[in-house]
Amino acid sequence: MERRRLGASSVEISRLVLGCGNFGGIGSAPAFFGRGETEEQAFELMDAAWSLGMRTFDTADAYGGGRSETWIGKWMASRGNRPEIVTKTFNPMEEGADRGLSRRRLTRQLESSLDRLGVDYVDVYLAHAFDPDTPLEQVAATFEGLRDIGLIKAWGVSNFDSAQLRRLYEHGRPAVVQNAYNVLERADEDDVIGLCSELDISYMAFGPLAGGILAGKYRSPDDRPADSRLALRPEPYEELLTDKMFAGLARFVAAAKERDVSPSTLALAWLLAQPAVAAVVVGPRKQQHIGLALQALDVPLSRADANAIAQLF
């Protein structure tokens, strides 16, 4: 699989990254710790991803209350494989625990992540969100210090807007920004993506299917099957659930059928066709979802094709 280098760092990652946010939970929400994929299911997904050439895994200390990192560590030890690890910190590890990006907490949380993963360093360490209570100068200095002593190879941020990113850049040199981006959620095109290009910061997209919407699994604003993302954690997607969007979605599904691919594959192909996107984090729930993601690598879209798909919405 093609690989991309992150910013000015030495780290290279797969263009498709295995998202492990549902291992032992549903993201970082304490209310859902213990749900999501079981350890056995997580191992099956990691085996399938590795066999198909995905060499970069994305996780966070708070995913599943630590279960995600723990299971990745156990998988690496049992298989003898060492993917590039992207992990993150900011959110509490349990209900009522502390959060943020203070120097003390960043250092403490990285040490706990290394223990759970069973490694001496992580390839990429990200701030999972902006922390208004910690000066960006301190945040940047801590990340760069951790890199300089070899506990991380590169660092970056997630869920940052352009103003936060520009201010951060005054104090340090992040290698990557990881934000939500897909053919429905394109706000970063207004400023963040251009700023990343200007500052030589790589851009990594997460949420390529907009909570499953672009997979074509929902037909109306009220179509929310039990245990689906829209049933469990609908908040990030509520503003997308309009009649106009579903009309566009019907056109998108038809466009995928015309190309003889799934809507999921077309959504990923659209992202991979964006010149500024270095990599895409995919969070499969089943092994066949990995196959659909890999098919996107074989669906080349021209600039005109990609623009036409965006116009469907």
Mean pLDDT of 291-302: 96
Q: What is the 8-class DSSP label of residue 231?
A: H
Higher pLDDT among residues 238 and 183, named by residue: 183
pTM score, two decimals?
0.95
Residue 195 has pLDDT above 90, yes or no: yes
Mean pLDDT of 153-161: 98
Residue 257 has pLDDT above 80, yes or no: yes
Question: Hey, what are 196's tokens?
Answer: 């990343």
pLDDT tier for residue 249 given thresholds of 50, 70 and 90? very high
Q: What are phi and psi of 154, to 5 degrees?
A: -155, 165
The pLDDT, as a whole number, for residue 181 is 98
pLDDT tens string 209-240: 999 999 998 888 777 777 677 777 778 888 89
Label residue 10 exposed, middle or buried (CB < 10 Å: 0-12, 13-18, 19+): exposed
The phi-psi region of residue 13 (left if phi > 0; otherwise alpha if psi is between -120 and 50; otherwise beta) is beta
Query: What dihedral do alpha carbons 50, 56, 60, 61 form, nearest 10°?
Result: 70
CB contact at 8 A, 138 and 102 = yes
pLDDT tens string 40-50: 999 999 999 99
Higher pLDDT among residues 114 and 239, named by residue: 114
Class of domain 3-311: alpha beta
pLDDT tens string 18-31: 999 999 999 999 99
The pLDDT, as a whole number, for residue 251 is 97
The pLDDT, as a whole number, for residue 121 is 98
Strands 152-158 and 176-180: parallel
Residue 72 has pLDDT above 80, yes or no: yes
Beta-bridge mates of residue 23 = 37
- d(CA 137, CA 97) in angstroms, rounded, equals 24
- d(CA 72, CA 311) in angstroms, rounded, equals 39
Residue 54 has pLDDT above 90, yes or no: yes
Reduced DSSP (H G I as helix, E B as strand, rest coil) percent helix, strand, coil of the chain, to 5: 45, 15, 40
Q: What are the sequence ranges of the domains in the chain?
A: 3-311
The pLDDT, as a whole number, for residue 266 is 98
The number of angstroms, rounded, from the C-alpha of 112 to the middle of its chain's C-alpha atoms is 21
